[in-house]
């Protein structure tokens, strides 16, 4: 089955700096790669996703890149703000909706003002 | 649109009792729903796939007789934790595929279970 590795487990950045979180996956058939932000005690919130026919996607300060050959994808947050502090999870699945997601272990991001 | 609700949001029960958690898709139909469990400071781990009108599919290591799943309608799946023990204390979250082409997972708000 799919295995998703996520690094780093914790990340501290100064406000205004960029943050990068990286994930690798094992199942070459996976084709949907979402990123979630989770605050304590709340549901995961989708912040951006990418499908295997796209190499990069950007939404304001957030971008995701995908390298299918190397089986890795990354989340980039620019101009970080204190409210970006949370736990971020990457995930992968074979289908964009009807199959379950396999999550990485998460990255605790702290943005220091 | 595409809202998933869970009830209750939190529950405290005594060891040995059973607890039922409901997951509802409010404005769309879901023939499939997923149940995840999240222990403190850990990731979401898939427990089972709930299928409307048929038996659930459980992940390896998840006891199907302990975690009973019923998906009796296109908008409701229930997870019953039977004979709960303190080690079952966790955050339980359901999700359902929705949106155009079922291209996104919609998560419920989660249920915090504490077994004393």
pLDDT in tens, A43-83: 999 999 998 888 999 999 999 999 999 999 999 999 999 99
Q: Are A45 and A37 in contact (CB under 8 A)?
A: yes
Q: How many CA atoms lie within 13 A of A14 on its CB side?
A: 1
Look-up: residue for tokens 């100064």?
Answer: A14
- Which one of A100, A101, A102, A103 would you mutate to disrupt binding with B, by most B Cβ within 10 Å of its Cβ? A100
d(C-alpha A68, C-alpha A71), whole Å: 5
Q: Distance between CA B80 and CA B66 in Å, rounded? A: 8
* B46 HSE (CA, 13 A, CB side): 24
Task: Nearest by CB to B105, from A42, A101, A105: name it.
Answer: A101
Q: Looking at residues A25-35, what average pLDDT do you find?
A: 93
- In chain A, residues with a C-beta closer than 8 Å to the C-beta of B43 are 89, 103-106
- Give the residue, B28 or A107, on which the prediction is more confident: A107
CA nearest to B99 within chain A: A97
Cβ of B101 within 8 Å of Cβ of A96? The answer is yes
Do β-strands B45-51 and A107-112 pair in parallel, antiparallel, or remain unpaired?
Answer: unpaired
Position A96 pLDDT exceeds 80: no
**DSSP designation for B88:** G
Instruction: Work out the average pLDDT over B22-49.
Output: 94
Q: Does A1 touch chain B (CB under 8 A)?
A: no
* Cβ contact A101–B91 (<8 Å): no
């Amino acid at each position: 089955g799919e295995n998703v590795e996520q690094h780093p487990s914790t990340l501290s950045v100064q406000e205004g700096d960029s943050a990068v979180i990286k994930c690798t996956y094992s199942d070459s058939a996976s084709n949907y790669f979402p990123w979630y932000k989770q605050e304590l005690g709340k549901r995961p919130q989708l912040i951006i996703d990418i499908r295997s026919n796209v190499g990069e996607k950007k939404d304001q300060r957030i971008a995701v890149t995908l390298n299918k050959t190397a089986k890795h994808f990354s989340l980039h947050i620019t101009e970080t703000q204190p409210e970006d502090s949370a736990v971020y999870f990457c995930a992968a699945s074979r289908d964009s909706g009807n199959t379950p997601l396999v999550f990485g272990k998460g990255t605790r991001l702290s943005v220091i003002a | 649109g595409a809202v998933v609700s869970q009830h209750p949001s939190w529950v405290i029960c005594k060891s040995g009792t059973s607890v039922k958690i409901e997951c509802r898709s409010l404005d769309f139909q879901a023939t499939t729903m997923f149940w995840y469990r999240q222990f403190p400071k850990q990731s979401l781990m898939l427990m089972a796939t709930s299928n409307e009108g048929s038996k659930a599919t459980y992940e390896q290591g998840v006891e199907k007789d302990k975690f009973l799943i019923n998906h009796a309608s296109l908008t409701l799946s229930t997870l019953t934790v039977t004979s709960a023990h303190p080690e079952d204390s966790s955050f339980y979250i359901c999700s359902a595929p929705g949106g155009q082409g079922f291209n996104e997972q919609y998560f419920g708000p989660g249920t915090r279970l504490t077994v004393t």
